[in-house]
Amino acid sequence: MSAVVGYNVQTAVDTEHHLIIAHEVTNQVVDRGQLPKMAAKAKEALGFETIEAIADAGYYRGTDLLACRDIGVTVLTPRTNTSNAKAEGRFGKEVFAYMPDRDVYRCPAGQMLPYRCATKEGDLTMFVYWCTTCPTCPLKSQCTTSKERRVRRWEHEPLVESMTARMETISAMAIRRETAEHPFSAIKACMGATHFLCKGLKAVRTEMSLHGSAWERSAGCWLPECVKAPSTGARMAPAANGVFARPQAPADLTSTQRDNRL
Ligand code: SF4
């Protein structure tokens, strides 16, 4: 099978005016790992000390959350489930309640799973919890196929927990959809959902810059303050809450279909 040349367009859009405040074209197949760089660009363009970044689940990665936190960016993105337990009809991790005062998990049978050890999973340090009563538990068939159910907790799990709590207070994914998809869909419509005209990463980045500029100027038609303020940096900053959102690849294209299309 022949290789297909593809480009992955990343944009950061402010929630107030739907302007593209930062964009990038990469040839990375997946979106994981893109968030810290784009968040830094957006933060610089907005000129805020701290911002919130809303991204879809394709961007979820623990190390990216940490990197963003370190530069003053609070990420809101759905956590992706990497466990097969729920898909196979057993209890998902969400039914195990963490009790921070005792550093234990309470399982669906009411047993306490204490901390046992730490382990490395790639770049992440994970704390592992289990109890010794699993072999005789009446719920074992719904819980684990192993000797006991082991629950893993990332050392920076409070970062994820506070993100999840924050996401429950706002409709983050609706904000992302209404914000980031607006310019993206308009650009696609203007292009006719066709290929980039240029070839090569450098040329495609330039072409995407032109699309971004065209969007910015068309946005001036409905934003009086954009018409009045000629300074690009100044008019990209007015997002009152400093929230921006980013789309991933167009919904109608899979990663393998991103053959030179927006
Ligand atoms: S198998 Fe173990 S962890 Fe699962 S419900 Fe029973 S006691 Fe709790």
Q: Whose CA is nearest to atom 4 of ligand 1?
A: 143
Distance, CA 140 to ligand 1 centroid (Å)? 6
How does DSSP assign 4-38, residue by residue? ----EEEEEEETTT--EEEEEEE--SSSTT-HHHH
Distance, CA 96 to ligand 1 centroid (Å)? 10
Q: Residues with beta carbon inside 6 Å of ligand 1?
A: 107-109, 111, 131, 133-134, 137, 139-140, 143-144, 148-149
**Residue 120 vs residue 236, higher pLDDT:** 120
Ligand 1 atom showing the smallest separation from residue 96 Cα: 3
Q: Whose CA is nearest to atom 5 of ligand 1?
A: 109
Q: What is the pLDDT of residue 241?
A: 32
Q: Between the CA of residue 187 and those of 178, 196, 257, what are the distances in Å?
A: 15, 12, 18
Averaged pLDDT for residues 222-251? 35
What class does CATH assign to 8-80+170-257?
alpha beta
Q: pLDDT band at residue 223, thresholds of 50, 70 and 90?
A: low
Q: Tens digit of pLDDT for each residue in 41-61? A: 999 988 888 899 999 889 999
Q: Tens digit of pLDDT for each residue in 190-220? A: 888 678 888 899 999 999 999 888 888 877 6
**Residue 137 vs residue 194, higher pLDDT:** 137
Q: Using a pLDDT cut of 70, give the percent of the chain over it.
A: 82
Reply yes or no on whether the pLDDT at 258 is more than 50. Answer: no
Q: Which tokens in the block code for residue 88?
A: 């196979």
CB distance 219 to 18 below 8 Å: yes
Highest mean pLDDT among 19-28, 152-161, 232-241 belongs to 152-161
Q: pLDDT band at residue 262, thresholds of 50, 70 and 90?
A: very low
142, 145, 149, best to mutate for ligand 1 pocket (most atoms within 8 Å of CB): 149
Q: Whose CA is nearest to atom 7 of ligand 1?
A: 134
Q: pLDDT band at residue 175, thresholds of 50, 70 and 90?
A: confident
Ligand 1 atom showing the smallest separation from residue 137 Cα: 6
Q: What is the pLDDT of residue 221?
A: 57
Please report where in the chains the tokens 């289990």 appear, as a residue. Answer: 130
Distance, CA 212 to ligand 1 centroid (Å)? 53
Domain parsing of the chain, residue ranges: 8-80+170-257, 93-163
